[in-house]
Structure 1
């Protein structure tokens, strides 16, 4: 059985290299993925085919990059902080986190969260 940290590392590497076959091999048949958008709850994708199709579309856009900044894992869960770039400057990117659960060496659940423009009623 593959550990959570190893599975996440292989998934992120496949995504960065745009290797759809390697990525798909790491996705559980019962995967549920909730995208970071649209706000407030994100779109849910249920089942391996739906999740792989969503991630595959992101991988197809060669004008973008996915940069892993930090990974933390414990048990079946991992948190991955990343930056998704769709242009050359930080203003053309989004910083986010995926909270991912691994089962039997494959991604079975992934919840995406991002920093987004706009205001929240927070203190200065």
Structure 2
């Protein structure tokens, strides 16, 4: 039900609610969702199964770069977005968030889950 309702966007007027229901209303969100969490899952897959995958140093380098780029993103798609709640996206702490993202990017370069350590 929620997925269907989130395709409807509109405005409240003096005459009532004017809404348009279309998959285009959330298409950018779903593209971002697939890109972010697809890279995340791929990274975790490489992190947990490097021996099984027989990862080459070149492939591992690419995964590491994707992991760092992902950790530096300003915003990962939320399960419930600010826009859906008619709220503004918080902007007051951008400087702190930028520093935090940089620290996370360096920490997550070797892995999101295992932090570069092998499973025992």
Q: TM-score, normalised by structure 1?
A: 0.24
Q: Which has the larger radius of gyration?
A: 2
Q: TM-score, normalised by structure 2?
A: 0.25
The structure with the greater share of residues assigned to strand is 1
The structure with the greater share of residues assigned to helix is 2
